[in-house]
Amino acid sequence: MRFVLFCHSLVSDWNHGNAHFLRGVVRELKRRGHAVTVYEPRGGWSRTRLSRELGRDPAVEFQAAFPGLNSIEYEVYALDLDEALDDADVVIVHEWTDPVFVARIGRHRRQTGRYRLLFHDTHHRSVSARDDIARLDLDGYDGVLAFGEAIREIYLRHGWSQRAWTWHEAADTTLFRPIPSSARDGHLVWIGNWGDDERSAELHEFLLDPARALGLRPVVHGVRYPASGLRALRAAGAEYRGYLPNHRVPETFARFHVTVHVPRRQYVTALPGIPTIRMFEALACGIPLIAASWRDTEGLFGRHDFLVARNGIEMMRHLRALFADADLRASLAANGLARIRARHTCAHRIDALLEICADLGAAAAHAAPDRQPLAVEAT
């Protein structure tokens, strides 16, 4: 089949965590023999900011890290959809796409009816910016791919879409895997962005305060840290190392004993059960993980895949236990890695996507010869 994806960026991962999964999806579709064309808007904020940070267009580094992947830049009002979608079987539009363009493609689908059209939601805006999502014109779309059951239910409950499937993100295990390393940069690393005060209190409670109390000097990678956030890092004795290209995350994890997951507030309160890509990344790389206040309401993981801290006291207790017990670290790492490989790779998600496409009557889906379809992912 021929897939066409419209996303915010394939090339840039600056403040754009979805890039990991999107790249993995494209790579897996291509591996199975499908044709994939990816479009990203010219002048998109992620690529623009990364270009500014690097002092050059990031496309060169992207091509070196991801040979065989590429994207086409387009203008929202100028792209010829007849030409771009001429022989498409399935078109997927990511939710960071300009609303005007979202509507344009919907109208084109209604007029031509030649392909199946899906909207891909991987953010918390269905609750944090509900009016923005409600105003999206999804008439003409065949349904929504939601990266959590809670979001799928919201689309159906509010009538924003007549059909929706839960399609979680997952690890691209071609890239995200354990890397043997005898070098150590420290005990604890955290990779993530400050988050517009969406988790500033949580970062204090679950990362900075425990680190200071235990005398740790955590290493922090991420972007969009305000002056207050940088001051908080310094006060806690943390070392801030700024932007980290997503493809270098595995080699970074390999140099530390432990990492933590501090979800944004919306994924704890309004949208429980959605594991963002950071959890999949850590487990796929075989680093012991402590998740802060996260509830696995969808039963995606096992009890011994990672530790959960309900408050800062529990976080300190878990950190102290992990640093003191190499066997516990090894057990958690092995369990988490096994879970990813068994259920949460991009290959698993493509199985589910191809089932959805077949259900919608798209061209015959190509199933991997060594893998069974996972209908549970397309509920």
DSSP assignments along 223-242, one per residue: S---HHHHHHHHHTTPEE--
Per-residue pLDDT tens over the stretch 129-154: 999 999 999 999 999 999 999 999 99
344 pLDDT higher than 50: yes
Instruction: Determine the distance from the C-alpha atom of residue 275 to the mean position of all C-alpha atoms in its chain, rounded to a whole number.
Output: 9
Whats the size of the chain, residue-wise?
A: 379
Q: Looking only at Cα atoms, what is the longest distance across the chain?
A: 64
pLDDT, position 198: 82
Residue 186, Ramachandran bin (φ over 0: left; ψ between -120 and 50: alpha; else beta): left
Amino acid in the structure at residue 222? G
Taking the alpha carbons of 211, 212, 214, 219 in that order, is the dihedral positive or negative?
positive
User: Tens digit of pLDDT for each residue in 245-294?
Assistant: 999 999 999 999 999 999 999 999 999 999 999 999 999 999 999 999 99
- pLDDT tens readout for residues 80-95: 999 999 999 999 999 9
Phi, psi values for residue 51, rounded to 5°: -60, -40
Positions of E strands within 122-244:
143-146, 164-166, 186-191, 219-221, 239-240
pTM, to two decimals: 0.93
DSSP structure string for 2-41: EEEEE-S-SS--TT-THHHHHHHHHHHHHHTT-EEEEEEE
CB contact at 8 A, 37 and 26: no
Arithmetic mean of pLDDT, 357-373:
62
Burial class (CB in 10 A: 0-12, 13-18, 19+), 196: exposed
Query: d(Cα 65, Cα 60) in Å, to the nearest integer?
Result: 9
Q: Is 370 a residue whose pLDDT tops 70?
A: no
Report yes or no: 55 and 20 within 8 Å, Cβ to Cβ: no
Residue 253: phi, psi to the nearest 5?
A: -55, -35
Q: With cut-offs at 50, 70 and 90, classify the pLDDT of residue 181.
A: confident
For position 184, what pLDDT does the model report?
Answer: 87
The pLDDT of residue 212 is 96
